[in-house]
Amino acid sequence: MHNATANKWAYLASSMLLVLVLLAGCSGGDAPNQGNASPSTGGASSPAAKTPVELSMFIDMSWYPVKEWKGPIAEAITEKTGVKLNITVATDDNQLPAMIASGNLPDLIFTNSQVDRLSNPNLSYAWDDLIEKYAPDFEIDPMRKLVNMAPDGKFYTVRNAFATQAEWDANKYALGNDGNPGVAVRTDIMQELGNPKIQSLDDFVHVLEQVKAKHPDMVPLVMDPNWEEQYFKAQFGIDVGGSELYEGNDGKLHFYLTHPKMLDYYKFMNSLYRKGLILAENFAFSNDQIDDDYADSGKAFAHMHTVSIAESDNLDAQKKGQPFKWQMLPTALSPDAVLVSDGTGFAGTFITKNNKHPAESIHFLKYLASDEGKKLVMFGIEGKDWKMNPEGYPEFNYNPNDSDYVNSQGLKWYYFYSDAIVEGLRAYVPGSQTTEALLQVKKITKVRPVLGLIHAPADSEQATIKTKIDDLVQNLRTKIFLAKSEDEAVQAYNDMMKKAEQYGMSKFEQWATEQFASKKDLIKQ
């Protein structure tokens, strides 16, 4: 990767003059409105600027833990780029769509859900145009351009948390990130039960039943509301990723509801409820802290979340003086276990047409995209927070799973341009439970990025169909989970499938298959 700060000091004398020229050239229209600034100076993004340029940023994620631009990492980024952010975090999922409709947009937007809508020349600057005009040495590999390309052939953002197959192959210590499912269990209770082996789903269910019998006041399994399904779906071999599509034996794409193992999965979840191993109210938790409270207070035996949950729970238990510890279960409890990586990235940053500093903005992102920038955001300050092991992975002077410390320092969450490799290297901590879980994840993961290219354009007929089906599942899946009998669960599933078909599921699958045929040759499988 190039270094975004190269040659910057050679232009100290001209930086402030350039700022004045850029501001004088501000104007409306579809083209970048900063005149013909020399890209190598970086405009006010250069550290030569005495007063940082302040850009407003809206983060379209109500759960986001970092709500201010503060801490040593933010300060270091500002020192390197001459940019500081005034951050606003969404209050709910409807706030950004309302802002888009009103045209009242900030300088920058970081979003996952509104990527298609914001990839619009009327709303955002195309990165291609800004790079050509202000930062021609900002190199982005062709695959990233491809997976972020809008229908007009331009790209308006580059999502983070993505890596090419070549990058994965070249970085053996990059293991992916925390976004993989996992389950942790209490080691003291396991010892009390004689440390029974848990090597299959049947083993796990049997242990949960033992816990219920011996500790009737304890919840055998509590689930994070955002991670209720992924772990068990994986065990049933439901090879579906974030696109919610899978390739059938007929070579066509199908919606995940039609997967041959989907009904078996639903029946399994229903059996957990009917046996009293999970709570009905778990499916109505109002936030993602309630399951943590069950675990931290000692009221739960097993905690379903991500691959880092054992270490996170151990930290919380230690802070609260709890006498128990947690241990991860195997990632695969079935020979059919599979995870699909079909993502083209998580979230991306948009430079809106309301932004009066597009040159500074693209240079800001250029720095975050540099090797130095990515490591600063994800690892911290080299020498203080971490050093590179000769083998090629970072060694930390802090616990990367200590969310209180990470958030207070401004680590990780300023990943407005990042990639899966540096994020994955952050996850490699030899001997840790999270690392061991991610090594297991790697063994059962199928990489299918082509599926991630197939998503319905905003406001299209296909998008409407998918939204209706997603809402349908969200409303009816609990009826399946909480059915009083297996027959009732099967009937509820069949009713849901019938309604999904009425909403146009087959029509959506036909469209997806046509898209698949046109795009599958773009990416080597």
Helix (H, G, I), strand (E, B) or coil at 84: strand
* All structural domains of the chain: 8-17+32-169+345-421 (3.40.190.10), 181-341 (3.40.190.10), 451-519 (no CATH)
Q: At 167, list the tokens.
A: 């990058």
Reference 207, options 199, 198, 215, 216; nearest CA is 198
Q: Region 49-72: what's the mean pLDDT?
A: 92
Q: Region 289-297: what's the mean pLDDT?
A: 96
The confidence band for 401, taking pLDDT boundaries of 50, 70 and 90, is: confident
Chain-centroid distance, C-alpha 227: 13
Cα separation, 263 vs 170, in Å, equals: 39
Task: Provide the sign of the torsion angle of the four alpha carbons 99, 102, 104, 107, taken in this order.
Answer: positive
Helix (H, G, I), strand (E, B) or coil at 525: coil
Cα separation, 221 vs 134, in Å, equals: 54
Please determine, for residue 34, whether its predicted confidence score (pLDDT) is greater than 60.
no
Cα separation, 209 vs 39, in Å, equals: 65
* pLDDT of the residue at 448: 85
Neighbours of 415 (CB within 10 A): 21
Cα separation, 250 vs 116, in Å, equals: 30
The confidence band for 518, taking pLDDT boundaries of 50, 70 and 90, is: confident
Q: Region 75-88: what's the mean pLDDT?
A: 97
Q: Region 479-508: what's the mean pLDDT?
A: 98
The confidence band for 50, taking pLDDT boundaries of 50, 70 and 90, is: low
Q: Region 227-232: what's the mean pLDDT?
A: 96
Which of 42-46, 126-130, 425-429 has the lowest average pLDDT? 42-46
Cα separation, 428 vs 396, in Å, equals: 10
* pLDDT of the residue at 9: 35
Mean pLDDT rounded to a whole number for the chain: 89
The two counts, helices (H) then strands (E), for the chain are 22, 14
* pLDDT of the residue at 315: 94
Residue 56 pairs in a beta bridge with 86
Please determine, for residue 7, whether its predicted confidence score (pLDDT) is greater than 90.
no
The confidence band for 105, taking pLDDT boundaries of 50, 70 and 90, is: very high
Q: Region 401-424: what's the mean pLDDT?
A: 92
Helix (H, G, I), strand (E, B) or coil at 5: coil
- Taking a C-beta distance cutoff of 8 angstroms, is the pair 90, 118 a contact? no
Q: φ and ψ at 180, to 5 degrees?
A: -130, 145
Q: φ and ψ at 219, to 5 degrees?
A: -80, 120
* pLDDT of the residue at 523: 63
For 338-392, write each residue's pLDDT tens digit.
999 888 899 999 999 999 999 999 999 999 999 999 999 999 999 999 999 999 9
Q: Region 295-320: what's the mean pLDDT?
A: 96
The confidence band for 179, taking pLDDT boundaries of 50, 70 and 90, is: confident
